[in-house]
Amino acid sequence: MDPAGPPAPAGAAAPSPPSVATAELTRTFGPVIALSQLTVEMPRGVVGLVGANGAGKSTLIKVLLGLLPPTSGRAQVLGMDPVTDGLAIRQLVGYMPESDCLPLDVSATEFVVHLARMSGLPADVARERTADTLRHVGLYEERYRPIGGYSTGMKQRVKLAQSLVHDPKLVFLDEPTNGLDPAGRDEMLGLIQRVSTDFGISVIVTSHLLGELERIADHVVVIEGGVLQRSTSTADATQLSGVLLVEVTDAGPLLVERLRAAGATVVPDAAGHSLTVELAGDWVLDAVTDAVADLGVGLVRMQHRRHHLTEIFRPEEGARVPA
What does the binding site for other proteins look like in residue numbers (CB under 8 A)? 1-3, 5, 7-9, 58, 61-62, 65, 67, 87-88, 90-91, 93-95, 97, 99-106, 110, 114-115, 117-123, 125, 128-129, 131-132, 135-136, 146, 162, 166-167, 198-200
> Which residues lie closer than 8 Å to 153 by C-beta, 6 or more apart?
180, 181, 184, 187, 188
Q: How far apart are CA 33 and CA 203, in angstroms?
A: 26
Q: How far apart are CA 166 and CA 117, in angstroms?
A: 9
Residue with smaller CB distance to other proteins, 105 or 282: 105
8 A C-beta contact, residue 37 and residue 73 = yes
CA-CA-CA-CA dihedral for 123, 126, 130, 131, to nearest 10? 60
Residue with smaller CB distance to other proteins, 105 or 316: 105
Q: What is the Cα Rg of the chain in Å?
A: 24
Residue with smaller CB distance to other proteins, 200 or 268: 200
Q: How far apart are CA 225 and CA 134, in angstroms?
A: 36
Q: How far apart are CA 263 and CA 261, in angstroms?
A: 5
- Least distance CB 153 / other proteins (angstroms): 18
- Least distance CB 208 / other proteins (angstroms): 18
- Least distance CB 241 / other proteins (angstroms): 33
Q: How far apart are CA 29 and CA 108, in angstroms?
A: 36
- Least distance CB 311 / other proteins (angstroms): 33
Residue with smaller CB distance to other proteins, 155 or 185: 155
Helices (H) and strands (E) in the chain, counts: 11, 13
Q: How far apart are CA 304 and CA 174, in angstroms?
A: 33
Residue with smaller CB distance to other proteins, 130 or 276: 130
8 A C-beta contact, residue 158 and residue 102 = yes
- What are residue 240's DSSP bridge partners? none
- Least distance CB 135 / other proteins (angstroms): 7
Residue with smaller CB distance to other proteins, 86 or 252: 86
Closest alpha carbon to 243 in 301, 315, 321:
321
- Least distance CB 94 / other proteins (angstroms): 8
- Least distance CB 297 / other proteins (angstroms): 52
- Least distance CB 307 / other proteins (angstroms): 32
Residue with smaller CB distance to other proteins, 117 or 306: 117
Q: How far apart are CA 266 and CA 278, in angstroms?
A: 6
Residue with smaller CB distance to other proteins, 74 or 194: 194
